[in-house]
Structure 1
């Protein structure tokens, strides 16, 4: 069972019990040193302190060894306890979390040793989740994981701080999804995601890529950055040349036109996928809307062919205009703005 780092199942219950000191076992503590007697006397002087946390299955103290010693110094036979009902490995994680958040500070060496244990006991946790539990940086935990690769199983996915499972390698997850889709073409997105260890949204992206005849693997970061800067409707052809033309790339109105001309979703099997999801009652209305778009583009084409070849002055285009460009063309507003 995979558990979340910031909320270990069976955490300290709300109920508090008075437990004899003689029944409690020493802690499986992340602390390497002995009890700090100065801190014990400080607690004893206060005479009141919060309940300690104890693992019910083993009666080991998870958090509160100094408070337990202070209770003994005050001559008490018992101490207030909150029980934890998880596994011993989860109890150790909770001990680390609690000692990182309050009380005497753990040294860096103690936090590092604790993180090494958590990497071994919870290999499915992400580096960020373990770092949060142990009070270390993500980079430090990643280095600890690399040094312990011989003992720690290498998993396809890890559990993050938010409890969500994500693939360690995005490309591997997408390849597994593509293989599963080819073998199970009728599988649901949830079935694909579960089989490949990826998110449902990623499964949807892989399926659409396969239907368009594209590679399911993510594009390199350089290509993604280029796409984010300017639209690239196709790998070749006149439209691709326009996308590379600086006169179009650095003009807001020209970039809008290139976005409007991007019809990759209607190419190849993509059109079949889109049509498959059109509701029967809306097909006539959709056909009418498509014809209106065609008419608008034909009018625009005639004006384009009649326009002299001089460079028009660039006008500022608002974000709302850019975001509504597709709807504007379909409704004829684009034509209206040119008059």
Structure 2
């Protein structure tokens, strides 16, 4: 933020031997790491400097620049690190606080405070990617439901398999399994209440005239109905039944989860995804009509 440090540049120019390679973003030819080394080479009168090229987006190049500058050479100031974290929150909102903290060299709590103050709506996502590359929902209730759905599809799966598939801790997977065996909701009452409060505050928008309308669709399948279907042996213990339960579970998303999916679609793919979603909806509608037709004809034969 303070520009070039001339003292550091002169120190590099006066050093003997070749300067370490700089890092250059190939698509834009911008220096990712080594601006002071380039200035030092110019002071020396050098005509060439060794460089290493990297590809990727400009946003990823900035992340690399921050990461490299926090690990060697002249360290970044605290103000530089905070400014870098704020910028990364805007370009990589799906990254967790810990992952951004690891790059910028500030604490996760400091990143969280910067994220809270951020006015970038894109930064307020409902899932984050951690340092291990795994995507975890911020909503613990949603993760528990995903674990419950996995257990319904694979009742003999180990706790570790459930935890890995749902992105939860092994202890959470154990608790979800116990709740399902007792016939309870996999989400404790406190988490459900918190989720409802959040949904009431976030999942509505102002309509013309001041009335409030839902911003995204409600879950396609009610939790209680889905839970009852999972207990039905005729569905649970047949391949076709398990396939149907899996498909219904995958579409039984909360409003915030639908929003998260919509926000993750790149602009250049929005039309393709929308067309595919409509086709899926039409197939489900045709499937529903077939089931209704069979149900009506079945009742007619029984009468």
Q: Give the TM-score category using the shorter length.
A: 0.5 to 0.7
Which structure 2 residues correspond to residues 159-308 of structure 1 after superposition, within 5 A? 159-175=129-145, 177-178=147-148, 180=149, 185-186=152-153, 198-199=167-168, 201=170, 206-207=176-177, 209-218=179-188
The residue aligned with 1:157 is 127
Q: CA deviation at 1:114?
A: 0.5
Of residues 136, 139, 147, the one that matches 2:109 is 139
Contact 1:165–1:197 (CA under 8 A) maintained in structure 2: no
Deviations 1:227-283 (A, max 9, x none): xxxxxxxxxxxxxxxxxxxxxxxxxxxxxxxxxxxxxxxxxx99x9xxx9xxxxxxx
Unaligned runs of 5+ in 2: 192-229, 238-303
Deviations 1:195-223 (A, max 9, x none): x96349556753553233123125879xx
Matched, 1:95 2:65: yes
CA separation of 1:76 and 1:150: change in aligned 2, threshold 3 A: closer
The residue aligned with 1:290 is none
Q: CA deviation at 1:191?
A: 11
Contact 2:19–2:49 (CA under 8 A) maintained in structure 1: no
Contact 2:27–2:55 (CA under 8 A) maintained in structure 1: yes
CA RMSD between the two structures: 3.5
Q: CA deviation at 1:168?
A: 1.4
Stretches of 4+ aligned residues off by more than 6 angstroms: 187-194
Provide TM-score, normalisation by structure 1.
Answer: 0.49
The residue aligned with 1:54 is 24
The residue aligned with 1:44 is 13
Contact 2:23–2:52 (CA under 8 A) maintained in structure 1: yes
Contact 1:181–1:207 (CA under 8 A) maintained in structure 2: no
Say which structure is richer in helix. Answer: 2
Q: CA deviation at 1:70?
A: 0.8
Q: CA deviation at 1:167?
A: 2.3
Give the whole-Å Cα distance in 2 for the aligned partners of 1:206 and 1:220: 14
Aligned residues: 190
Give the whole-Å Cα distance in 1 for the aligned partners of 2:46 and 2:36: 14
Matched, 1:35 2:4: yes
Give the whole-Å Cα distance in 1 for the aligned partners of 2:154 and 2:106: 41
Unaligned runs of 5+ in 1: 1-31, 222-268, 277-339
Q: What SS does the corresponding residue of 1:78 show, helix, strand or coil? A: coil
Which moves more between the two structures, 132-141 or 210-219?
210-219
CA separation of 1:120 and 1:191: change in aligned 2, threshold 3 A: farther
Deviations 1:118-165 (A, max 9, x none): 111111111111111111111111111111254334333212222232
Q: What SS does the corresponding residue of 2:31 show, helix, strand or coil? A: strand
Contact 2:90–2:120 (CA under 8 A) maintained in structure 1: no
Contact 1:124–1:158 (CA under 8 A) maintained in structure 2: yes
The residue aligned with 2:92 is 122
CA separation of 1:39 and 1:181: change in aligned 2, threshold 3 A: closer
